[in-house]
């Protein structure tokens, strides 16, 4: 009797790891089903031209989340989203090209995408574009345009402005008074035009 009870307990213990593994597989399967449903919903919105959905679908392809990882498709979706006015997609493309993330590193393309995001009002892209102008990275060096863009980035205020203020002051110390004045004039002109639009 004791021997058969021990065998039953032993056999029960042997099945536990299988049951736990089956449970894990079930959870993974459910996550996979949920990801597939999410992708279908995002794809429907993206097919209708929704810029946010295009960006989200781009991230899904970039990370291989619910779809097969496909960097080229991710870039194409980010480009469509940016063309539809999605600032985050334009900024992300700038970062991707600047750092060679899933694309061939290209400072010229990075500057182009940062400029688009900067024109849409994205402060980090405005500051990054100012650095690129200051250094001549991916575009012709232009210290006045650099001053214009860092003044625009600071004008919004907040943590971003405080974080970059020291770097801007250091860079401005290397500019002529005429370059600083012209940069401020251009930034004021840009801000006035964009406040009228918004």
Any domain includes 116: yes
Do residue 198 and residue 103 come from a single domain? yes
The radius of gyration computed from the CA coordinates of the chain, to the nearest angstrom, equals 26
Percent of the chain with pLDDT over 90: 71
Q: Do residue 114 and residue 128 come from a single domain?
A: yes
Tens of pLDDT, residue by residue over 13-57, are 333 344 344 444 555 556 667 777 888 889 999 999 999 999 999
Running DSSP on this structure, what letter comes out for residue 156? T
Question: Own/partner pairs for 71-75, CB < 8 Å, 24+ apart?
Answer: 71/102, 71/103, 74/102, 75/102, 75/103
- Whether residue 161 is predicted with pLDDT greater than 60 in this model: the reply is yes
Label residue 9 by pLDDT band (50, 70, 90).
very low
Closest among 140, 144, 112 to 128, alpha carbons compared: 112
Q: What is the CATH number of the domain that holds 41?
A: 1.25.40.10
User: Alpha-carbon distance 190 to 135, whole Å?
Assistant: 22
Number of domains in the chain: 2
Query: Is 12 part of any domain?
Result: no
- For tokens 């907040």, the residue is 158
Calpha distance 23→176 (Å, rounded): 69
Q: How confident is the model over 48-69, as pLDDT tens digits? A: 999 999 999 999 999 998 899 9
- Predicted TM-score (pTM) of the model is 0.79
185: which 2 tokens? 């004039």
Domain enclosing residue 93, as ranges:
87-198
């Amino acid at each position: 009797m004791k021997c058969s009870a021990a065998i039953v307990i032993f056999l029960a213990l042997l099945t536990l790891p299988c049951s736990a593994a089956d449970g894990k597989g079930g959870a993974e399967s459910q996550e996979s089903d949920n990801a597939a449903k999410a992708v279908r919903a995002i794809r429907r919105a993206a097919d209708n031209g929704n810029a946010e959905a295009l960006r989200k679908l781009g991230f899904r392809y970039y990370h291989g989340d619910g779809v097969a990882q496909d960097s080229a498709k991710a870039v194409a979706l980010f480009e469509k989203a940016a063309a539809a006015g999605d600032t985050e997609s334009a900024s992300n493309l700038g970062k991707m090209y600047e750092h060679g993330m899933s694309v061939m590193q290209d400072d010229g393309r990075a500057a182009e995408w940062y400029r688009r995001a900067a024109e849409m009002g994205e402060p980090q892209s405005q500051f990054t574009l100012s650095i690129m102008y200051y250094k001549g990275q991916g575009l012709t060096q232009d210290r006045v345009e650099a001053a214009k863009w860092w003044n625009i980035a600071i004008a919004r205020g907040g943590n971003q402005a405080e974080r970059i203020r020291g770097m801007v002051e250091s860079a401005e110390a290397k500019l002529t008074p005429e370059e600083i004045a012209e940069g401020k004039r251009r930034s004021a002109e840009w801000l006035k035009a964009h406040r009228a639009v918004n």
